Amino acid sequence: GAVVSQHPSRVICKSGTSVKIECRSLDFQATTMFWYRQFPKQSLMLMATSNEGSKATYEQGVEKDKFLINHASLTLSTLTVTSAHPEDSSFYICSAPPPRQWNRDTQYFGPGTRLTVL
């Protein structure tokens, strides 16, 4: 079953509104989570690293005031797209590395959130 969940899976909003996307790790704690963005027919681009108990680290070119990240607990990170515009329409995916003792080869990805801004 899924070990990282995202909510909502789809959201449609009007231009100018803010949208919050949740990423939860199920059955394990994640001090670090990652947020990626994927435009249609394009690759996944890392937006930021979410750190529990400290500020998020943003990749170059990503506006931190536009994309607010809060790692509220060891199992929850939220991405808020503030004052969304049509160009923010994208597929947002979060991921979390599993505990080392699980000895997994990959981090776990959430199922993604498709944001459409009208």
Partner 1 sequence: AQKVTQAQTEISVVEKEDVTLDCVYETRDTTYYLFWYKQPPSGELVFLIRRNSFDEQNEISGRYSWNFQKSTSSFNFTITASQVVDSAVYFCALASYNQGGKLIFGQGTELSVKP
Q: Draw the binding track, 13-32, toward partner 1 (x: CB under 8 A; -: no contact).
A: -------------------x
The size of the interface with partner 1 (CB under 8 A), counted in residues, is 21
With CA atoms as reference, report the closest residue to 22 among 54, 59, 68, 60. Answer: 68
Q: Pick the binder of partner 1 from 49, 70, 82, 89 (CB under 8 A).
A: 49
Residue 43 in contact with partner 1, rule: CB under 8 A: yes
Q: Pick the binder of partner 1 from 46, 72, 74, 118 (CB under 8 A).
A: 46
With CA atoms as reference, report the closest residue to 77 among 111, 117, 50, 38. Answer: 50
